[in-house]
Amino acid sequence: MKEERFDVVVVGAGPAGSVTARKAAEQGLDVLLIERDQVIGVPVRCGEGVSNRIKQFVTIDKRWICVEVKGANIYSPDSTRVVMAGEKMDEVGYVLDRPLFDRFLASNAARAGAEIRIKTEAYGIIKENGYVKGVNIRCASENENKRVYADVVVGADGVESLVGRLADINTRLRPSDMCVCAEFLMCDIEINKEYSEFFLGSEVAPKGYAWIFPKGDDYANVGVGISGDVSGEGHHAIDYLKVFAKNKFPTGKIIAEMCGAVPVCGPISESVADGIVLVGDAAWQVNPLTGGGILYAMRAAEIAGGVVVKAVQENDLSKKRLSEYDRKWRSEFGERLEIGLKAKEFFFNLSDKDLNALAHSLVGVEIHELSTDALLLELVKRNPEMLEELVKHFIS
């Protein structure tokens, strides 16, 4: 088997992997970024919505922005609408063209000096004296396997990260820890072009929600996400999506279909081990309430890239040294993910009657920040009898 050597190998060329690769390559490290699919960013496994905070990480390029939205409409089971709009929006602001966006991030990594290989899959890891020392890869285009040695392996390989699991990091998820999703890209439909829309209710999406993200004049991402523990024969996300799409857009045309899973269980217990770090979905860096994770992944990747560079320069790839990354990302947004988990556990176990009552209490209220904190504040103000129950969830 052929052998190669790099300072860093990054597994997965989504936003987390590409940003990590760019940060490490910018500092002069020899970086290999591998992606198992033949086209970076395809297939899309995402609603493609991000907040205005994306400007903290990249300069906006209209080529990968489909729509800029003003806010969100949230509909209760009885169709009561709650409007959330303003400058401080947590999960919406832009609807991306993810294939173009992901390739933009990958190209930035390549321009920084990282080598990128597509149709290349990591199927095993190399360990020496308890340390991860590289990965075994399968190159479909070359029809051969290789052993790639590296000082650090970055697992950006998504839900239930294989490289993390092989490194003895627990990346396994229970069904209830995942949101399973199905989405159509639809055209020839009438949509609200300025607002993303979310729909709640046990008939629409049990322990989850449905969404409509505008992508153009008559285009939209139309999707459903449900908890994995309520998914079953005849009740998969795709089954709920077919009904939802038919009811909303009976004459609309489906031009693409996507599916995937998102970790919605709060922060992973460990995101590092000797010689390896996990970023993005692989480290469960997703808001459990909303399922949004792109910007968390990008920030974690920036932190990971900086820590990896210093660790390689110091020739200390121990778990203790790499734990600087773990501490920093938890300090910055770990608490937000924990709050999202508590909120998810509270809201997604409410009955349709309760959801309707909450929505009724917010009719006419202007919520200028689409965030967990802002929503909870308004709910408690309008429903003081809920305060005791909410506090129980947030201190348990």
Average pLDDT of span 381-396: 62
More reliable by pLDDT, 354 or 383: 354
In eight-state DSSP terms, residue 331 is I
Q: Which residues pair with 85 in a beta bridge?
A: 71
**208: its two tokens:** 């989850």
What's the pLDDT at 86?
Answer: 61
CA distance 198 to 89: 14
Report the interhelical angle of 352-361 vs 372-382 (nearest 10°).
90
**324: its two tokens:** 């600087």
The string of pLDDT tens digits covering residues 37-61 is 999 988 777 778 888 889 899 999 9
**229: its two tokens:** 């523990």
69 alpha-carbon distance from chain centroid: 19
Task: Sketch the domain layout of the chain as residue ranges.
Answer: 2-44+99-173+268-333
Answering whether pTM is above 0.75, one says yes
Is the confidence at residue 287, as pLDDT, over 60? yes
CA distance 246 to 182: 14
Any idea which residue has 């770990």 for tokens?
A: 334
What's the pLDDT at 62?
Answer: 92
CA distance 28 to 124: 26
- Tell me, letter by letter, the H, E, C secondary structure of 70-117: CEEEEECCCCCEEEEEEEEECCCEEEECHHHHHHHHHHHHHHHCCEEE
The C-alpha angle with vertex 291 and arms to 285 and 295, in degrees rounded to 5, equals 50
CATH of domain 2-44+99-173+268-333: 3.50.50.60
Average pLDDT of span 287-316: 96
The string of pLDDT tens digits covering residues 304-332 is 999 999 999 999 999 999 999 999 999 99
Is the confidence at residue 135, as pLDDT, over 80? yes
